Amino acid sequence: MESSSTTSHGGGRREATRQKLYEAAVTLIAEQGFSATTVDEIAERAGVAKGTVYYNFASKSVLFEELLRHGVGLLTASLREAAEETARRGGGKVDALDAMIRAGLVFIDRYPAFTQLYVAELWRTNRAWQSTLMVVRQQAVAVVEDVLRDGVRGGEFSAEIDVPLTAAALVGMVLVAALDWKSFQPERSLDDVHAALSRLLQGRVSGRRP
């Protein structure tokens, strides 16, 4: 999973190694589960020595926790950029939400294994990284909440909407619809899925016709 940050030459090498480890870990854990995946397998898949894993991460659990932070951080950045770009173009808040839906679908299309893993972990409550998962989840949802609140203040959305729950529902809609798309309807294009969710957004949030 690629990072959008820039680093020094030495930092760039370390970041590249961490990227390899993220890719290896997310693929293996998605395939066979966290408990069944070993550090040896992660190192082998990444093409590095086992010691390199421990040099970068104290343990497999820490690696996975950082993977969650990294992946959801990329998603959050994508959502925020979509909203900001819409604002720069003079679009309204419904337009911003629509752009965020597309950004979410693009992210999931690019990182399906991470998305599958992330959604699965949301349902588990006995993990050491549960608190981290809740924090990074809220970071992504908060971006949507901000757009909704701005829309309420501007009169574009009803003042009666429950902002936190609506934001969570929109994020959940994208995640679940995209996983269904990837698992059961892969013949559909990203544009096709986005159009369907866009029509739902227009009807359920703004009241406008699609």
Q: What is the mean pLDDT of residues 80-98?
A: 97
Q: Kindly calculate the radius of gyration of the chain based on its CA atoms and give it in whole angstroms.
A: 19
pTM: 0.85
Residues ≥6 apart with Cβ < 8 Å to 122: 133, 137
Q: Is 94 a residue whose pLDDT tops 90?
A: yes
Please write down the HEC assignment for all residues of the chain.
Answer: CCCCCCCCHHHHHHHHHHHHHHHHHHHHHHHHCCCCCCHHHHHHHHCCCHHHHHHHCCCHHHHHHHHHHHHHHHHHHHHHHHHHHHHHCCCCHHHHHHHHHHHHHHHHHHCHHHHHHHHHHHCCCCCCCHHHHHHHHHHHHHHHHHHHHHHHHCCCCCCCCCHHHHHHHHHHHHHHHHHHHHHHCCCCCHHHHHHHHHHHHHHHHHCCCC
**pLDDT on residue 30:** 86
Q: Tens digits of per-residue pLDDT, 120-131?
A: 888 877 777 888
Q: Name which of 33-37, 51-55, 106-110, 123-127 the model is least confident about.
A: 123-127
